[in-house]
Structure 1
Amino acid sequence: MVQHVIHGFGPVWDSSSTVLVLGSMPSPVSRKQGFYYMHPRNRFWPVMAAVFSDDPGASVREREAFALRHHMALWDVLASCDIDGANDSSIRNPHPNDIGVILRSAPIRVVVTTGTKAGQLYRSLIEPGLRRQGIATPMMTLASTSPANASKSLEDLIAIYHDAFTQAGVLTE
């Protein structure tokens, strides 16, 4: 059932964040818990654990500390939209977050979107406004860590994210 959804919680970032990771819109489970990628079958946190060789923990507080420790900012492209559950293909009436707030205040080297829809929404709703402000941060669309993305194994996702973070200079060997 399509519902109008408001994001419900803010970004995670600080003045040392060098990579901004953006999803499209939090899942119902993530909105309920008030944090990013909290569905137990979403592979984001296991991927990050492998990429950084560090345990993100399970609580919101631990995962927030993990993100900041590894210079990651977390947010979503959308502030609100009409959506059926967590189905990105059902998104209608999207309204973007003001991503420029982070890009103007932190030394972000790259924006990474977790999935095709997040990348499309970023390019259409956010990038034009950033260009008008003179902000030209590179953006990469990576594979979704959602359980709905069965075409990528956990090992595939770890390799994709590791390569992208290394290429962007936010992860050193």
Structure 2
Amino acid sequence: METTTCIGFPAQLNTDCRVLVLGSMPGVASLQAAQYYAHPRNRFWPLMGVVCGIDATRPYPDRVRALNAAGVGVWDVIGQCERRGSLDASIVRGSEVPNALSALIEKLPALRAVACNGGTAYRAFQRFIAPALIGPARALPVWSLPSTSPANAAWPLPRLAEAWQPLADAVRR
């Protein structure tokens, strides 16, 4: 399988974002649909239904608006990369171009935490973004949460919901 240049999406958030959920890079199904977490077996939207009370069956624009209204934003650590297929493990090391997250984080006064959707997103955040954070942004909690990807089938939805509970707590306080 040959590598493909993958280019991510713009951030989906409001200025009153309290938790910023970061993936690594959208998978092939998401890129083709131009929607975050579009793969039918990805548990992100059902999980947001459980932890944030949004209706995960609504059309995509409605889900994004409801998530933003709940205080949750979505983006990715990596804005562009070379990859073979959809798996994070297939991202070609050295091809990653990070999104401008440090600048964004500094402009979100209500931000309480960053939630990385999976280990790859967390490691990319630590590698590319954390060193550039300044001032109060350096003290923000950054959570490495289990991935909602279908590749993480060992984590059923109830177990994911328990692990992602800190997100629910942060947006409610």
TM-score by length of 1: 0.90
Q: Helix, strand or coil for the counterpart of 1:89?
A: helix
1:134 shift after superposition: 6.1
Query: For this pair of structures, how many residues does the alignment match?
Result: 168
Equivalent residue, structure 1, for 2:141:
138
Name the residue aligned to 2:69: 69
5+ residue gaps, structure 1: none
Aligned to 1:95: 97
Query: Post-superposition shift, 1:138?
Result: 1.6
User: Which structure's residues are more often helix, by fraction?
Assistant: 2
Q: Is the 8 A contact 2:54 2:67 kept in 1?
A: no
Moved >6 Å (runs of 4+): none
- Measured at CA, do residues 165 and 64 of structure 1 come closer, stay the same or move farther in structure 2, by a change above 3 Å? same
The whole-number CA distance in structure 1 between the counterparts of 2:45 and 2:37 is: 7
Q: Does 1:15 align with 2:15?
A: yes
| 1:56 and 1:66 in contact (8 A); partners too | no
Shift of 1:104: 1.8
1:170 corresponding residue in structure 2: 171
Distance 1:160 1:94 in 2: 28
| Residue identity (%) | 33
Q: Kindly tell me: are residues 54 and 64 of structure 1, through their superposed partners in 2, closer, same or farther at Cα, counting changes over 3 Å?
A: closer
1:84 corresponds to: 84
Q: With the length of structure 2 as denominator, give the TM-score of the two structures.
A: 0.90
1:85: Cα distance to partner? 1.4
Distance 2:168 2:39 in 1: 26
Return the structure number with greater strand share: 1
Determine if contact 1:56/1:62 at 8 Å carries over to the other structure: no
